Amino acid sequence: MTPFGAKLRDLRAERGISQKDMAKSIGVSAAYLSALEHGRRGQPTWDKLQRIIQYFNIIWDEAEELQRLAMISDPRVIIDTGGLSPAATKLANLLAARIGELDEETTRMLVVKLEAIPEKRKR
């Protein structure tokens, strides 16, 4: 399950909405919605994301949070380390090979550390 999928499932559960009813209302299949929630589908398109936001009638911070979660919820990530240091390439490969072996505590610790690194602004 992706962070976006978990949030989507939580929003539906809080409101007592079935996948079938929501899917019909936003113009997708229940199978698509299920796959999105379970992380078998990648990020929703911008259009579908906006339909989901409108469906739940969420605004401002909550809508921005849902958009942020969608952006970090691609279940099939590709990391290009071309031009980076050998250590960066090693890190990417070790993470790819061993991510399934990490326990929740270690995973959360790594996420906190990585999120603490300031993003470089693109020029």
In order of 14, 107, 108, the CA distances from 115 in angstroms are 28, 12, 10
Q: What is the token pair recorded at 15?
A: 């409101």
pTM: 0.73
Domains and CATH numbers, the chain: 3-71 (1.10.260.40), 78-123 (no CATH)
pLDDT, averaged in runs of 10, over the chain (123 residues): 93 95 96 93 91 94 92 87 94 93 96 90 56
pLDDT at 26: 96
Q: What is the pLDDT of residue 76?
A: 83
**Cβ pair 4, 73 in contact under 8 A:** yes
* pLDDT in the model for residue 55: 96
